[in-house]
Amino acid sequence: MSQDLLAERPVSVLDPPAPPAVQPTRPPKPESSTADALSAEIGPLDLSPRAIFRRRCERLAQRLATASFEDRIAIYTDKEDRPTYRELSSAAALCPDLMPVLNGEYEWIALTSADLLD
């Protein structure tokens, strides 16, 4: 009987059809965080040394603008994390409106002048 089935049906020697290609799926996107929102506002984060220095100077200017006089003196004289003159000059150049002024001069310069010592 099996001979009859083979005789009636031609035998195909073709390869079976290939399975359908599976498209890779992306993992679900996590809920947006503050960093994602900030990145969307300001663009990709620049990690070059120049950009890091600029952000440090901008944060210094912001910190000086919101600190009281005593706190600013403590910032200027801090032994461990005292800002350098380069950082203070750059902060004044980047954010002149935020830098504290004393007698018409930037405070960090006025504190070392002879006029103030009298």
Confidence of residue 108 (pLDDT cuts 50, 70, 90): confident
Q: Is the pLDDT score of 20 beyond 70?
A: yes
pTM for the model: 0.57
Q: Of 51, 49, 82, nearest to 64 (Cα)?
A: 82
What confidence score (pLDDT) does residue 73 get? Answer: 87
Q: Of 101, 103, 107, nearest to 77 (Cα)?
A: 107
Q: Of 109, 84, 81, nearest to 96 (Cα)?
A: 109
> What is the tally of structural domains in the chain?
1
| 62 lies in some domain | yes
What confidence score (pLDDT) does residue 113 get? Answer: 76
| 52 lies in some domain | yes
| 110 lies in some domain | yes
Within the chain, where are the H helices? Answer: 2-8, 34-42, 49-66, 69-77, 85-94, 107-110, 114-117
What confidence score (pLDDT) does residue 63 get? Answer: 92
Mean pLDDT of the chain: 77
Q: Of 81, 88, 80, nearest to 111 (Cα)?
A: 88
| 109 lies in some domain | yes
* Structure-token pair, residue 102: 């004393």
The string of pLDDT tens digits covering residues 43-57 is 666 678 888 889 999
Q: Is 83 exposed, middle or buried (0-12, 13-18, 19+ CB in 10 A)?
A: buried
| 39 lies in some domain | no
| 13 lies in some domain | no
| 30 lies in some domain | no
| 29 lies in some domain | no
For residues 60 and 90, what is the distance between their CA atoms, to the nearest angstrom?
Answer: 10
Average pLDDT score over residue span 61-85? 89
What confidence score (pLDDT) does residue 104 get? Answer: 86
Find out whether 60 and 83 touch, Cβ atoms under 8 Å. Answer: yes
Average pLDDT score over residue span 79-106? 90
Residue 96, domain extent? 46-118
